[in-house]
Structure 1
C-alpha cells in the first residue's frame, strides 16, 4: 500500500490527479477492468470513476473497450510516462510564452510606479506614548554607527530605557559614537544623575547644555525621532515625528555638534554646580543670622527700663 501511495504521488508530480493516479495504478494490474471493478480496486467512489477514466483516455493513458459491458485497460507505463512528460513540456512552453508576454505588459506599469513617490512617505507621525517608546527603543537597538540625542524633560530612566544602555555598550565596544546632550535641569534630580552615570559606564559620552530646543535622537545619520510638543493642547500633549531623511539628519547633527562643542562635560557641570550650592547655603545662613540680629535688637533692654 505504501508503494502504491509513493507511485501515486510520483504520478501526481507528472500532472495526474490523485484519483487518476490511483485508477491508472489499478488498471496496470490486469488486462481489462470494468468501471465498477476498477473503482473497487482503486478505492475511488463509483460515481467519480467514469469521469476519471474519461480523463485518462483523453490523456491517452487508458483505452476503452466497447461492448455490452465496457472495459478499460492501461497503456504501457513507459509510453504513459513519456506522454505525461510531453504534456508537461507543452505546458511549460505555454507558461514560458505567457510569462514573457505578461512581464512585457506589466513592466511599463512597474516603471511608471517607480517615478511616483509620496512627498511624505518618509515621515511617520506618532501620537501614542507606547508607539513612541517602541520606536525610540527600536532606533537604539538597530543603530549601527552613531546615536546623537538631545535629552530634556521628560526623561527615560532604566528600566524604561534598557535598550539605550545596551545600545551604548554595544556601539562603544565597536568603537562607534554615542553622545547625549542633557539640559541643565537634569542636575537637579540626584536619581537622574545616577542614571547618567550608568550610561557613562556603558560607554556613552554626556554633556550638559544650558538649554535644548527639543527632545531628539539621530540614528546613523539618516533617521530622526523628535518630539513636537503641542502648543495649543494640554501641557502633556505631544506628537513625535520619525523622519527618514539623511539631509535633515545631517542638518540636525550640525546643530547637535554646535551645542556639544560649547557645553560642559558631566563632571565639569557637577563641579560647576557645587560652588553655587555652597554660596546659596552661605547666603541662607547669612540671612538667618541677620534675622537673628534684628530679633535681638528688637528685644527691650531691662537695664534701661
Structure 2
C-alpha cells in the first residue's frame, strides 16, 4: 500500500486529512519532531502541531515534552482498537439520532404504487414486512435453498401458525422436509414444469406482489419491484396463481 492509499484509508476511518498524513508519516519515522513530520508528510509545520496534538487526544500518538516536542505513534494494535471503538461509538450515535428524527411512513398496504428497491438485505426485510401484512394467504416462490433467509423462514412459519394459508413454491426437493413440522404447504416443481424461475416472488392476499431477480448473475446483488392494492398487483397475482396451478397439475 502506498502512502497515499494509507492516508485515504485513514480518512475513510474518520481521520481528517492532516491527522491522517501526520499519523502515516510517524509510521515511517517511528518518532519525530514537527519539522521532521512536516518534511515527510508535506503538512505545513504550523499545522503539524495541531494535527499531532489532536492525535494525542485521540489516543493514537504519544507526546514527549522535550525541546522541541517529539511525537511517536502508539502500536498499530492500539491504534486499530482506538479507531474501531470510535467508529462504533459514532455509528451508534448516528443511528440513535436518526431514530429520533425518523418519522414512520404512512401505511402503504393499499396505496397502489409500484416501488423498487435494491440489495439482498433490504429485499429480505421488505418480504418479511409484506408477509406480516397478510390477512388470509401468502405464496412465496423460493427457487433455491438460499432464497429463504432466516428472517423470511421465521416469518413464514409464524404467519402459518397464526392461521394464514402459507404456500412455498420451490424447485428444491428438500423443501418438503424443511417445512414438515409446520402447517406450510410446500409445492415442489419438477423439471417438467414449463415455467422457469426467474427469481424470488411473493404474493400476499391475491393483491400484493413482489418480484425479485438477481443482477449480473450475482445472488447477493438483487433488484425487486413490489406493489400493493393496485391493478398491476392483482393482474400479476392472477398470472402467478395460474402458473402455480398449471405446475401443480403437471406435477400431479
TM (normalized to structure 2)?
0.45
Higher relative contact order (CA 8 A, sep 6+): 2
- Relative to total residues, which structure has the larger strand share, 1 or 2? 2
- Relative to total residues, which structure has the larger helix share, 1 or 2? 1
